[in-house]
Amino acid sequence: MEVILKNGVRIFTPQEYEALRGVVRRDSSRAVLEALFFTGMRYVELQRLKKHREWLLRERACVHLPADAQRKPRRRWRERFVYLTPQGLAAVERLFSRNVRIPQRRVFNRAIRSWAEKAGIGVQGVCTKALRKTWESWLVVSYPWAIDLIAMNMGHTNLTALNHYLQLPFSDAEKERIKVYTAGWRGEDARNRRDVG
């Protein structure tokens, strides 16, 4: 099947993500992969989170990224909250295990391309950023009424979310599978508040 690319970066289907995850043998590597995926955080943000367990607000199912969490000079939000699904919360908690080390980004980029090759999904557009872009696109599929919240969660404008993620050609079956992964994210709360208001 044809791959989905956006600006040259791969957007994984659920089947591709599952195949990719399935070939990762080391628990520590899988922990990093899942934490990157289920948070949608930038690589440098995840590296800094590993050193700051206090940023995880477990009872609120989110990560608070203070202003110094990222080094991106042109960032939209100085600080932000990254909402987590139950799977995301578990992934972040695994990240704090003693045996989990987050390698340099270039090392992880090589690893993810190697896993994609082993998984038989091809390497076109596969890189660390693909995990972040995939998660955001899946949130947009699941919670189209919460574009503003998704954009804030990811650390950019809602125009970026609209331009990059709203129109991706997932099949109906893929969309249903995506909703299983994103269940429990705060977009459900946003819809309930909108319906009540």
In b/e form, how buried is each residue of 7-21, taking b as 16+ CB within 10 angstroms?
eebbbbbbebbebbe
Query: Domain containing 9: what range?
Result: 4-183
Identify whether 195 is part of a domain: no
pLDDT at 143 over 70: yes
In the predicted model, what is the mean pLDDT of residues 116-120? 98
Identify whether 196 is part of a domain: no
Q: How many domains does the structure of the chain reveal?
A: 1
CA–CA distance, 12 with 132 (Å, rounded to integer)? 10
pLDDT at 50 over 90: yes
pTM as predicted: 0.90
Give the mean pLDDT of the chain: 89
φ, ψ for residue 6 (rounded to 5)? -135, 115
CA–CA distance, 137 with 114 (Å, rounded to integer)? 23
Q: Per the structure block, which two tokens stand in for 81?
A: 């909250």
**CATH code at position 165:** 1.10.443.10
In the predicted model, what is the mean pLDDT of residues 109-117? 98
